[in-house]
Amino acid sequence: MDQTQHPHVVVVGGGFAGLTLARALAGKALHVTLIDRENHHLFQPLLYQVATAGLSPGDIASPIRSVFSGKPNVRVLMAEVVDVDHERREVVFADGPGLAYDYLVVAAGAETNYYGNDGWKEHSFGLKSIRDAVQIREHVLTAFETAERETNEDRRRELLTFVVIGGGPTGVEMAGAISELGKHTMKRDFRVVDPTQIRVVLLEMADRVLLPFHPSLSDEARKQLEELGVEVRLGVKVTDVGDHYVEVDGERLPSAMTCWATGVKPVALAAALGAPLERGRVVVEKDCSLTRDPKVFVLGDMAHFAPEAGGRPLPGVAPVAMQQARFVARAIQRDLRGLQREAFQYRDKGFMATVGRSRAVLEAGKIRMAGFVAWLGWLFVHVIYLVGFRNRLVVTLNWCWSYLTFRRGSRLIAQRHSDASLNALHERRSDHPLNRVA
Protein backbone atom coordinates (compact mmCIF):
# COMPACT_ATOMS: atom_id res chain seq x y z
CA MET A 1 0.00 0.00 0.00
CA ASP A 2 2.76 2.40 0.86
CA GLN A 3 5.13 2.32 -2.03
CA THR A 4 7.80 4.49 -0.48
CA GLN A 5 7.55 3.01 3.01
CA HIS A 6 6.64 6.39 4.43
CA PRO A 7 3.77 6.17 6.87
CA HIS A 8 0.55 7.92 5.92
CA VAL A 9 -0.80 10.35 8.51
CA VAL A 10 -4.43 11.28 7.93
CA VAL A 11 -5.55 14.48 9.66
CA VAL A 12 -9.26 15.20 9.93
CA GLY A 13 -9.98 18.90 10.43
CA GLY A 14 -8.14 21.99 9.23
CA GLY A 15 -8.63 24.08 12.36
CA PHE A 16 -5.85 25.22 14.68
CA ALA A 17 -4.92 21.64 15.65
CA GLY A 18 -5.01 20.07 12.18
CA LEU A 19 -3.28 22.95 10.44
CA THR A 20 -0.52 23.17 13.06
CA LEU A 21 0.05 19.42 12.93
CA ALA A 22 0.24 19.27 9.12
CA ARG A 23 2.61 22.24 9.13
CA ALA A 24 4.82 20.53 11.70
CA LEU A 25 4.96 17.38 9.55
CA ALA A 26 5.51 19.21 6.24
CA GLY A 27 8.85 18.26 4.75
CA LYS A 28 9.28 15.22 7.05
CA ALA A 29 9.57 11.61 5.87
CA LEU A 30 5.80 11.08 6.07
CA HIS A 31 2.79 11.41 3.82
CA VAL A 32 0.15 13.70 5.23
CA THR A 33 -3.45 14.03 4.01
CA LEU A 34 -5.34 16.91 5.57
CA ILE A 35 -9.12 16.65 5.20
CA ASP A 36 -11.67 19.34 5.91
CA ARG A 37 -15.32 19.87 5.01
CA GLU A 38 -14.51 23.46 4.11
CA ASN A 39 -11.87 24.69 1.69
CA HIS A 40 -10.54 27.19 4.22
CA HIS A 41 -8.94 27.42 7.61
CA LEU A 42 -10.98 29.81 9.68
CA PHE A 43 -9.36 32.11 12.22
CA GLN A 44 -12.26 31.73 14.64
CA PRO A 45 -11.11 34.26 17.27
CA LEU A 46 -11.86 37.06 14.80
CA LEU A 47 -15.14 35.66 13.54
CA TYR A 48 -17.09 38.15 15.65
CA GLN A 49 -15.47 40.93 13.62
CA VAL A 50 -16.91 39.50 10.41
CA ALA A 51 -20.29 39.27 12.16
CA THR A 52 -20.07 42.95 13.04
CA ALA A 53 -18.79 44.22 9.67
CA GLY A 54 -15.26 45.03 10.83
CA LEU A 55 -13.59 42.48 8.57
CA SER A 56 -14.47 40.68 5.34
CA PRO A 57 -14.88 36.90 5.39
CA GLY A 58 -11.83 36.47 3.18
CA ASP A 59 -9.67 38.35 5.69
CA ILE A 60 -9.90 35.59 8.28
CA ALA A 61 -10.29 32.56 6.02
CA SER A 62 -7.23 31.11 4.25
CA PRO A 63 -7.62 28.40 1.60
CA ILE A 64 -6.05 25.36 3.26
CA ARG A 65 -4.48 24.34 -0.06
CA SER A 66 -2.50 27.51 -0.35
CA VAL A 67 -1.02 27.02 3.13
CA PHE A 68 0.60 23.85 1.76
CA SER A 69 1.46 25.07 -1.74
CA GLY A 70 5.15 24.35 -1.46
CA LYS A 71 4.85 21.19 0.66
CA PRO A 72 4.61 18.17 -1.66
CA ASN A 73 4.25 15.66 1.18
CA VAL A 74 1.01 17.30 2.34
CA ARG A 75 -2.16 16.78 0.33
CA VAL A 76 -5.42 18.58 1.01
CA LEU A 77 -8.88 17.11 0.43
CA MET A 78 -12.17 18.89 0.77
CA ALA A 79 -14.43 16.11 2.02
CA GLU A 80 -16.53 15.09 4.99
CA VAL A 81 -15.35 12.26 7.22
CA VAL A 82 -18.31 10.55 8.90
CA ASP A 83 -16.77 7.49 10.49
CA VAL A 84 -13.56 5.62 11.26
CA ASP A 85 -13.18 1.94 10.44
CA HIS A 86 -10.71 0.83 13.11
CA GLU A 87 -10.47 -2.70 11.69
CA ARG A 88 -9.55 -1.66 8.15
CA ARG A 89 -7.71 1.41 9.46
CA GLU A 90 -9.63 3.70 7.12
CA VAL A 91 -11.54 6.93 7.46
CA VAL A 92 -14.99 6.76 5.89
CA PHE A 93 -16.24 9.66 3.75
CA ALA A 94 -19.83 10.84 3.43
CA ASP A 95 -19.63 10.34 -0.31
CA GLY A 96 -17.21 7.64 -1.33
CA PRO A 97 -14.84 4.83 -0.37
CA GLY A 98 -12.46 5.23 2.53
CA LEU A 99 -8.88 6.37 2.82
CA ALA A 100 -6.36 4.17 4.63
CA TYR A 101 -4.14 5.57 7.38
CA ASP A 102 -1.14 4.49 9.39
CA TYR A 103 -1.67 7.30 11.87
CA LEU A 104 -4.96 9.09 12.31
CA VAL A 105 -5.39 12.48 13.95
CA VAL A 106 -8.96 13.60 14.52
CA ALA A 107 -9.42 17.29 15.24
CA ALA A 108 -12.74 18.20 13.70
CA GLY A 109 -13.69 20.76 16.35
CA ALA A 110 -16.94 21.74 17.91
CA GLU A 111 -20.31 23.15 16.95
CA THR A 112 -22.88 25.31 18.70
CA ASN A 113 -24.52 23.57 21.65
CA TYR A 114 -28.16 24.29 22.35
CA TYR A 115 -28.19 21.93 25.36
CA GLY A 116 -31.25 20.09 24.14
CA ASN A 117 -33.26 23.19 23.19
CA ASP A 118 -32.86 22.55 19.50
CA GLY A 119 -36.02 24.51 18.73
CA TRP A 120 -34.17 27.67 19.77
CA LYS A 121 -31.73 27.15 16.92
CA GLU A 122 -34.00 28.54 14.23
CA HIS A 123 -34.53 31.77 16.16
CA SER A 124 -30.92 32.56 16.97
CA PHE A 125 -27.49 32.51 15.39
CA GLY A 126 -24.45 30.64 16.61
CA LEU A 127 -20.98 31.87 15.70
CA LYS A 128 -18.87 29.01 14.41
CA SER A 129 -18.61 29.46 10.64
CA ILE A 130 -18.33 32.14 7.98
CA ARG A 131 -21.97 31.37 7.14
CA ASP A 132 -23.00 32.15 10.74
CA ALA A 133 -21.03 35.37 10.82
CA VAL A 134 -22.36 36.63 7.49
CA GLN A 135 -25.91 35.83 8.57
CA ILE A 136 -25.50 37.80 11.79
CA ARG A 137 -23.99 40.72 9.89
CA GLU A 138 -26.79 40.79 7.34
CA HIS A 139 -29.54 40.51 9.94
CA VAL A 140 -28.11 43.27 12.11
CA LEU A 141 -27.62 45.59 9.13
CA THR A 142 -31.07 44.77 7.74
CA ALA A 143 -32.58 45.56 11.16
CA PHE A 144 -30.87 48.99 11.08
CA GLU A 145 -32.25 49.64 7.58
CA THR A 146 -35.74 48.50 8.56
CA ALA A 147 -35.66 50.66 11.68
CA GLU A 148 -34.72 53.69 9.57
CA ARG A 149 -38.00 53.23 7.67
CA GLU A 150 -40.13 52.39 10.75
CA THR A 151 -42.60 55.06 11.83
CA ASN A 152 -43.59 53.69 15.22
CA GLU A 153 -41.13 54.71 17.92
CA ASP A 154 -41.67 51.57 20.03
CA ARG A 155 -41.28 49.24 17.10
CA ARG A 156 -38.19 51.12 16.05
CA ARG A 157 -36.67 50.40 19.45
CA GLU A 158 -37.56 46.73 19.09
CA LEU A 159 -35.85 46.63 15.69
CA LEU A 160 -32.75 48.04 17.37
CA THR A 161 -32.66 45.58 20.28
CA PHE A 162 -30.11 42.80 20.03
CA VAL A 163 -29.74 40.00 22.56
CA VAL A 164 -26.51 38.07 23.10
CA ILE A 165 -26.84 34.93 25.20
CA GLY A 166 -23.68 33.88 27.02
CA GLY A 167 -21.08 36.02 28.78
CA GLY A 168 -17.97 34.12 27.70
CA PRO A 169 -15.35 35.72 25.46
CA THR A 170 -17.48 35.32 22.30
CA GLY A 171 -20.58 36.83 23.91
CA VAL A 172 -18.62 39.72 25.42
CA GLU A 173 -16.91 40.46 22.11
CA MET A 174 -20.16 40.24 20.15
CA ALA A 175 -22.12 42.46 22.53
CA GLY A 176 -19.41 45.12 22.58
CA ALA A 177 -18.94 45.03 18.82
CA ILE A 178 -22.66 45.26 17.96
CA SER A 179 -22.97 48.22 20.29
CA GLU A 180 -19.99 49.96 18.69
CA LEU A 181 -21.17 49.18 15.17
CA GLY A 182 -24.56 50.68 15.91
CA LYS A 183 -23.29 53.77 17.63
CA HIS A 184 -20.62 54.72 15.15
CA THR A 185 -22.54 54.08 11.96
CA MET A 186 -25.80 55.54 13.22
CA LYS A 187 -24.31 58.78 14.32
CA ARG A 188 -23.18 59.54 10.80
CA ASP A 189 -25.09 57.51 8.29
CA PHE A 190 -28.67 57.36 9.48
CA ARG A 191 -31.18 60.19 9.65
CA VAL A 192 -34.13 58.78 11.62
CA VAL A 193 -32.57 56.32 14.04
CA ASP A 194 -29.87 57.51 16.37
CA PRO A 195 -27.30 55.90 18.66
CA THR A 196 -29.41 56.35 21.79
CA GLN A 197 -32.04 54.00 20.38
CA ILE A 198 -29.85 50.94 20.00
CA ARG A 199 -30.02 48.43 22.84
CA VAL A 200 -27.69 45.47 23.27
CA VAL A 201 -28.48 43.04 26.08
CA LEU A 202 -25.93 40.49 27.26
CA LEU A 203 -27.36 37.60 29.30
CA GLU A 204 -25.22 35.42 31.56
CA MET A 205 -26.35 32.70 33.90
CA ALA A 206 -23.39 33.02 36.27
CA ASP A 207 -22.88 36.04 38.53
CA ARG A 208 -20.10 37.44 36.35
CA VAL A 209 -18.94 37.54 32.71
CA LEU A 210 -15.74 35.86 31.50
CA LEU A 211 -15.78 33.01 34.03
CA PRO A 212 -12.30 31.70 33.20
CA PHE A 213 -10.80 35.06 34.27
CA HIS A 214 -10.08 36.41 37.74
CA PRO A 215 -13.22 38.03 39.23
CA SER A 216 -11.58 41.46 39.20
CA LEU A 217 -11.18 41.23 35.41
CA SER A 218 -14.75 40.00 35.00
CA ASP A 219 -15.76 43.12 36.82
CA GLU A 220 -13.56 45.29 34.60
CA ALA A 221 -15.03 43.71 31.47
CA ARG A 222 -18.56 44.34 32.74
CA LYS A 223 -17.70 47.99 33.38
CA GLN A 224 -16.18 48.32 29.91
CA LEU A 225 -19.28 46.80 28.36
CA GLU A 226 -21.50 49.18 30.28
CA GLU A 227 -19.38 52.12 29.12
CA LEU A 228 -20.19 50.97 25.59
CA GLY A 229 -23.87 50.99 26.47
CA VAL A 230 -24.33 47.23 26.73
CA GLU A 231 -26.96 46.14 29.26
CA VAL A 232 -25.29 43.30 31.20
CA ARG A 233 -27.66 40.99 33.06
CA LEU A 234 -25.98 38.49 35.36
CA GLY A 235 -27.45 35.50 37.17
CA VAL A 236 -30.34 35.19 34.74
CA LYS A 237 -31.75 32.14 33.04
CA VAL A 238 -33.04 32.04 29.47
CA THR A 239 -36.37 30.25 29.54
CA ASP A 240 -37.35 30.57 25.87
CA VAL A 241 -35.94 31.76 22.54
CA GLY A 242 -38.53 32.43 19.88
CA ASP A 243 -39.37 34.47 16.84
CA HIS A 244 -37.65 37.79 17.56
CA TYR A 245 -37.86 37.48 21.32
CA VAL A 246 -35.90 36.00 24.21
CA GLU A 247 -37.57 35.10 27.49
CA VAL A 248 -35.42 35.69 30.57
CA ASP A 249 -36.77 34.40 33.86
CA GLY A 250 -40.25 34.84 32.42
CA GLU A 251 -39.69 38.39 31.10
CA ARG A 252 -39.95 38.73 27.33
CA LEU A 253 -37.29 40.84 25.59
CA PRO A 254 -37.75 41.77 21.93
CA SER A 255 -34.77 40.88 19.78
CA ALA A 256 -34.10 41.81 16.16
CA MET A 257 -31.18 39.36 16.17
CA THR A 258 -30.37 36.85 18.88
CA CYS A 259 -26.83 35.53 19.14
CA TRP A 260 -26.37 32.21 20.91
CA ALA A 261 -22.86 32.32 22.33
CA THR A 262 -23.22 30.12 25.33
CA GLY A 263 -21.45 26.94 24.50
CA VAL A 264 -20.16 24.38 22.07
CA LYS A 265 -20.11 20.62 21.77
CA PRO A 266 -17.84 18.35 19.72
CA VAL A 267 -19.05 17.51 16.21
CA ALA A 268 -20.89 14.20 15.67
CA LEU A 269 -17.73 12.44 14.52
CA ALA A 270 -16.59 12.32 18.18
CA ALA A 271 -19.30 9.79 19.01
CA ALA A 272 -18.39 7.69 15.95
CA LEU A 273 -14.84 7.03 17.19
CA GLY A 274 -15.90 4.20 19.49
CA ALA A 275 -14.07 5.66 22.48
CA PRO A 276 -15.38 6.76 25.90
CA LEU A 277 -16.84 10.29 25.99
CA GLU A 278 -17.00 12.93 28.72
CA ARG A 279 -19.61 15.61 28.00
CA GLY A 280 -19.38 14.64 24.37
CA ARG A 281 -15.58 15.00 24.25
CA VAL A 282 -13.41 11.99 23.49
CA VAL A 283 -11.36 10.85 26.50
CA VAL A 284 -7.69 10.62 25.53
CA GLU A 285 -4.53 9.32 27.16
CA LYS A 286 -1.63 11.40 28.42
CA ASP A 287 -0.16 11.33 24.90
CA CYS A 288 -3.46 12.49 23.31
CA SER A 289 -4.09 9.04 21.79
CA LEU A 290 -7.04 6.71 22.20
CA THR A 291 -6.75 3.92 24.75
CA ARG A 292 -7.89 1.47 22.10
CA ASP A 293 -5.34 2.54 19.52
CA PRO A 294 -2.16 4.51 20.25
CA LYS A 295 -1.92 5.41 16.56
CA VAL A 296 -5.19 7.35 16.67
CA PHE A 297 -5.06 10.80 18.30
CA VAL A 298 -7.85 13.21 19.13
CA LEU A 299 -6.99 16.89 19.65
CA GLY A 300 -8.47 20.26 20.39
CA ASP A 301 -12.13 20.91 21.14
CA MET A 302 -13.05 17.26 20.46
CA ALA A 303 -10.68 15.87 23.09
CA HIS A 304 -11.23 15.51 26.82
CA PHE A 305 -7.69 15.82 28.13
CA ALA A 306 -7.56 15.95 31.93
CA PRO A 307 -4.12 16.94 33.27
CA GLU A 308 -5.07 15.33 36.59
CA ALA A 309 -7.01 12.06 36.67
CA GLY A 310 -10.67 12.90 37.18
CA GLY A 311 -9.88 16.64 37.06
CA ARG A 312 -11.18 19.37 34.75
CA PRO A 313 -10.30 18.98 31.09
CA LEU A 314 -8.24 21.54 29.22
CA PRO A 315 -10.44 24.28 27.72
CA GLY A 316 -11.43 24.33 24.05
CA VAL A 317 -9.16 27.15 22.98
CA ALA A 318 -6.66 27.63 20.18
CA PRO A 319 -3.48 27.46 22.32
CA VAL A 320 -4.44 24.00 23.66
CA ALA A 321 -5.15 22.75 20.13
CA MET A 322 -1.89 24.13 18.74
CA GLN A 323 0.28 22.83 21.59
CA GLN A 324 -1.33 19.39 21.33
CA ALA A 325 -0.71 19.39 17.59
CA ARG A 326 2.99 20.17 18.01
CA PHE A 327 3.21 17.50 20.70
CA VAL A 328 1.57 14.86 18.47
CA ALA A 329 3.85 15.77 15.57
CA ARG A 330 6.80 15.05 17.88
CA ALA A 331 5.19 11.87 19.25
CA ILE A 332 4.74 10.41 15.75
CA GLN A 333 8.33 11.24 14.86
CA ARG A 334 9.57 9.66 18.13
CA ASP A 335 7.60 6.51 17.27
CA LEU A 336 9.32 6.30 13.92
CA ARG A 337 12.72 6.65 15.55
CA GLY A 338 11.81 3.97 18.11
CA LEU A 339 11.76 6.42 21.02
CA GLN A 340 9.25 6.44 23.86
CA ARG A 341 6.50 9.02 23.75
CA GLU A 342 6.29 11.64 26.45
CA ALA A 343 3.17 12.94 28.19
CA PHE A 344 1.56 16.13 26.88
CA GLN A 345 1.95 19.13 29.15
CA TYR A 346 -0.08 22.25 28.54
CA ARG A 347 1.75 25.52 29.06
CA ASP A 348 -0.91 28.06 29.91
CA LYS A 349 0.30 31.40 28.55
CA GLY A 350 -2.82 33.20 29.70
CA PHE A 351 -5.93 34.39 27.99
CA MET A 352 -7.50 37.59 26.81
CA ALA A 353 -10.76 38.99 25.56
CA THR A 354 -11.56 42.25 23.88
CA VAL A 355 -14.62 44.30 24.70
CA GLY A 356 -14.28 46.95 22.01
CA ARG A 357 -12.16 49.78 20.74
CA SER A 358 -9.23 50.27 23.17
CA ARG A 359 -10.92 47.94 25.66
CA ALA A 360 -9.77 44.45 26.64
CA VAL A 361 -8.82 42.26 29.57
CA LEU A 362 -5.76 40.06 29.75
CA GLU A 363 -4.59 37.49 32.29
CA ALA A 364 -1.29 35.59 32.20
CA GLY A 365 -0.24 33.89 35.42
CA LYS A 366 -0.16 36.64 38.03
CA ILE A 367 -0.38 39.42 35.47
CA ARG A 368 -3.82 40.99 35.13
CA MET A 369 -4.51 43.92 32.86
CA ALA A 370 -7.50 45.80 31.60
CA GLY A 371 -7.84 48.69 29.17
CA PHE A 372 -5.73 50.09 26.39
CA VAL A 373 -2.49 48.18 27.00
CA ALA A 374 -4.42 44.89 27.25
CA TRP A 375 -6.10 45.82 23.98
CA LEU A 376 -2.75 46.43 22.26
CA GLY A 377 -1.63 43.02 23.56
CA TRP A 378 -4.78 41.49 22.14
CA LEU A 379 -4.23 43.13 18.74
CA PHE A 380 -0.63 42.01 18.62
CA VAL A 381 -1.33 38.36 19.47
CA HIS A 382 -4.21 38.10 17.01
CA VAL A 383 -2.27 39.56 14.12
CA ILE A 384 0.74 37.34 14.86
CA TYR A 385 -1.33 34.18 14.80
CA LEU A 386 -3.36 35.05 11.70
CA VAL A 387 -2.46 32.65 8.96
CA GLY A 388 -0.72 34.05 5.93
CA PHE A 389 1.13 37.25 5.30
CA ARG A 390 -1.59 38.74 3.13
CA ASN A 391 -4.33 38.30 5.69
CA ARG A 392 -2.11 39.73 8.41
CA LEU A 393 -1.48 42.81 6.27
CA VAL A 394 -5.12 43.28 5.27
CA VAL A 395 -6.39 42.86 8.82
CA THR A 396 -3.81 45.27 10.21
CA LEU A 397 -4.66 47.89 7.60
CA ASN A 398 -8.36 47.42 8.19
CA TRP A 399 -7.91 47.88 11.89
CA CYS A 400 -5.76 51.00 11.51
CA TRP A 401 -8.36 52.43 9.15
CA SER A 402 -11.26 51.58 11.48
CA TYR A 403 -9.41 52.92 14.50
CA LEU A 404 -8.68 56.23 12.82
CA THR A 405 -12.03 56.70 11.11
CA PHE A 406 -14.45 54.85 13.41
CA ARG A 407 -15.79 53.26 10.25
CA ARG A 408 -16.55 49.65 9.42
CA GLY A 409 -15.34 48.44 6.09
CA SER A 410 -17.60 45.51 5.37
CA ARG A 411 -21.15 46.66 5.84
CA LEU A 412 -22.43 44.53 3.02
CA ILE A 413 -25.88 42.96 2.82
CA ALA A 414 -25.43 40.50 -0.02
CA GLN A 415 -28.48 38.30 0.45
CA ARG A 416 -31.88 39.86 0.70
CA HIS A 417 -33.55 38.67 3.87
CA SER A 418 -37.23 38.36 3.18
CA ASP A 419 -37.56 38.19 6.91
CA ALA A 420 -41.32 38.15 7.21
CA SER A 421 -41.24 38.23 10.97
CA LEU A 422 -38.86 41.18 11.04
CA ASN A 423 -41.28 42.95 8.75
CA ALA A 424 -44.10 42.00 11.09
CA LEU A 425 -42.27 43.90 13.84
CA HIS A 426 -42.19 46.79 11.44
CA GLU A 427 -45.12 48.73 10.07
CA ARG A 428 -44.91 51.78 7.93
CA ARG A 429 -47.43 54.57 8.10
CA SER A 430 -47.93 57.65 6.03
CA ASP A 431 -46.77 59.80 8.93
CA HIS A 432 -43.33 58.20 8.63
CA PRO A 433 -40.66 60.77 9.41
CA LEU A 434 -39.19 60.09 6.00
CA ASN A 435 -42.39 61.12 4.32
CA ARG A 436 -42.19 64.44 6.05
CA VAL A 437 -39.42 66.03 4.09
CA ALA A 438 -37.32 67.58 6.83
Q: What is the DSSP letter of 125?
A: B
Instruction: Count residues binding its own copies (CB under 8 A).
Output: 71
In the complex with its own copies, the residue whose CB is nearer, 223 or 295, is 295
Q: Are 351 and 363 in contact (CB under 8 A)?
A: yes
Q: How far apart are CA 198 and CA 150, in angstroms?
A: 14
Among candidates 138, 26, 33, 36, which has minimal Cα distance to 414? 138
> Taking CB under 8 A as the rule, which mask of x and - marks residues 181-210 in contact with its own copies?
----x--xxxx-------------------
Minimum Å distance from CB 363 to its own copies? 34
343 class by beta-carbon count within 10 Å (0-12 exposed, 13-18 middle, 19+ buried): exposed
Residue 38: which of 101, 131, 113, 106 has the closest Cα?
Answer: 131
Q: Judged by CB, which is closer to its own copies: 166, or 182?
A: 182
Distance, CA of 200 to CA of 52 (rounded, Å): 13
Interface pick for its own copies out of 8, 183, 199, 382 (rule CB under 8 A): 8
Which of 28, 56, 157, 334 touches its own copies by CB under 8 A?
56
Regarding 412 and contact with its own copies (CB under 8 A), the answer is yes
**What's the angle, vertex CA 292, arms to CA 286 and CA 297, rounded to 5?**
50
Binding status of residue 397 toward its own copies by CB under 8 A: yes
Question: CB of 112: closest distance to its own copies in angstroms?
Answer: 17
Is position 28 an interface residue for its own copies (rule: CB under 8 A)? no
Neighbours of 167 (CB within 10 A): 27
Separation between Cα atoms, residue 345 and residue 343, nearest integer Å: 6
The amino acid present at 185, given as its one-letter code, is T
- Residue of the chain from 69, 196, 239, 291 that contacts its own copies (CB under 8 A): 69
Residue 337 interacting with its own copies (CB under 8 A):
no
Q: Which amino acid type is present at position 212? A: P
For the CB of residue 223, give the shortest distance to its own copies in the complex, in Å.
31
Q: What is the footprint of its own copies within residues 84-103 (CB under 8 A)?
A: 95-97, 99-100
Cβ atoms of 426 and 145 closer than 8 Å: no
Task: Please report, for residues 114, 121, 241, 242, 245, the alpha-carbon distance to residue 118 in angstroms, rounded to integers and kept in the order given.
Answer: 6, 5, 10, 11, 16
279 touches its own copies by CB under 8 A: no
Least distance to its own copies from the beta carbon of 202, Å?
A: 26
Residues 363-392 that bind its own copies (CB under 8 A): 390
Residue 227 annotated among the catalytic residues of the structure: no
φ, ψ dihedrals at 171, nearest 5°: -65, -40
Contact window for its own copies (CB under 8 A) among 37-45, 152-160, 205-213, 284-292: 37-45
- Among the listed residues 158, 173, 180, 204, the single catalytic one is 173
Identify the residue among 13, 57, 126, 377 touching its own copies (CB under 8 A).
57
For the CB of residue 26, give the shortest distance to its own copies in the complex, in Å.
14
Indicate which residues carry an active-site annotation: 173
